[in-house]
A and B are shown apart, each in its own frame.
Chain A
């Protein structure tokens, strides 16, 4: 059964959100410092207790997405990907989606390159966190800020 996505983006709402865009530079500025508090337990669960160090993980999303239904996401982790030193898993977490875990990827030395691309659903403008767990037990974290004009259809944001 195919249910059409109802877009009730009136001009007023569109303009309101446009004003929100003006604050985009400030949002991007804080991304390196503050992690979403609600993701804290999840991040610690993935990393095994300690908060991961920031770095080595590059998360790429478009800064502005018209629709949250399908947003391209690319995650790259700096790693030699040898039998002694490789990326074991990469976890993609969302600040505002009703289910914060978007995906978990499991790699091995044979992967050759720790880079994965996919498309995600986003329930509104938010910060996305990627945590990479390495074979030596260390974990690293990268974030990206994305502004979503129309949240994903059928995904209710937690704060609305």
Chain B
């Protein structure tokens, strides 16, 4: 199993959400590397009811954007059909060392940005 480097997840004060980024521990220039994201989020579908029968409003992460040195490398539009605590894995080509930035926004307007330094040898 390949070793991975992981971003230091910053747990927000209310403990509701956090974003983790995982990339291979060593990246060579020109490598096609897998970036894995795991976001802690309920992805509330809007089809559920609470214990007094009141519908729970939909609240899902609707957009995840990944940038590398400010250039967009991947974007995902998510809907209620994505499982709670969304997991996303995608690929990108390593060109130079830099900063990987993942930003998401949900229906409630909550947003979070996680950054990670990527050393390319």
Q: B82, A120: Cβ atoms under 8 Å?
A: yes
Query: Across the interface, do B88 and A117 meet the contact criterion of CB distance under 8 Å?
Result: yes
Chain A proximity mask over B56-73: 1 for CB below 8 Å, otherwise 0: 100000000000000111
Whether the Cβ atoms of A103 and B50 lie closer than 8 Å is no
Residues of A54-112 contacting chain B, CB below 8 A: 69-71, 92, 94, 97-99, 101-108, 110-112
What count of chain B residues pass the 8 Å CB interface test? 30
Query: Provided the pairs A94-B81, A102-B81 are in contact, do residues A118 and B89 lie with their beta carbons within 8 angstroms?
Result: yes
User: In the bound complex, do residue B92 and residue A116 qualify as a contact, i.e. CB atoms below 8 Å apart?
Assistant: no
Q: Does A13 contact B (CB under 8 A)?
A: no
Q: Inside 8 A of B51's CB, which chain A residues have their CB?
A: 3
Question: Which residue, of B80, B87, B92, has the highest number of chain A Cβ atoms within 10 A?
Answer: B80
Question: How far does the alpha carbon of A1 sit from the alpha carbon of B50 in the complex, in Å?
Answer: 8
Contact B72 A108 (CB under 8 A): yes
Partner of B89, one of A71, A98, A116, A154: A116
The docked-state distance in angstroms from the alpha carbon of A97 to that of B80 is 9
- Find out whether the CB atom of B81 lies under 8 angstroms from the CB atom of A111: no
Counting chain A residues whose Cβ lies within 8 A of the other chain, the interface size class is 35 or more
Contact partners of A108 in chain B: CB under 8 A: 72-74
Complex Cα spacing A103 to B89, Å: 13
- Give the residues from 18 to 77 in chain B that come closer than 8 angstroms, CB to CB, to chain A: 32, 45, 47-48, 50-51, 56, 71-77
Q: Which positions in B face A, CB cutoff 8 Å?
A: 32, 45, 47-48, 50-51, 56, 71-84, 86-93, 95
Taking the closest CB of chain A, its distance from the CB of B80, in whole angstroms, is 5
The smallest beta-carbon distance between A102 and chain B, in angstroms, is 4
With a cutoff of 8 Å between Cβ atoms, the chain A residues found around residue B48 in the complex are 3, 153-154
A71 to B82, alpha carbons, bound, how many Å? Answer: 9
Q: Give A152 Cβ to nearest chain B Cβ, in Å.
A: 8
New A-B contacts (17) at CB < 8 Å, excluding given A1-B56, A99-B79, A103-B77: A1-B50, A3-B56, A70-B83, A92-B81, A102-B79, A102-B81, A103-B78, A103-B82, A105-B77, A106-B75, A108-B72, A108-B74, A111-B90, A112-B93, A118-B89, A119-B87, A156-B47
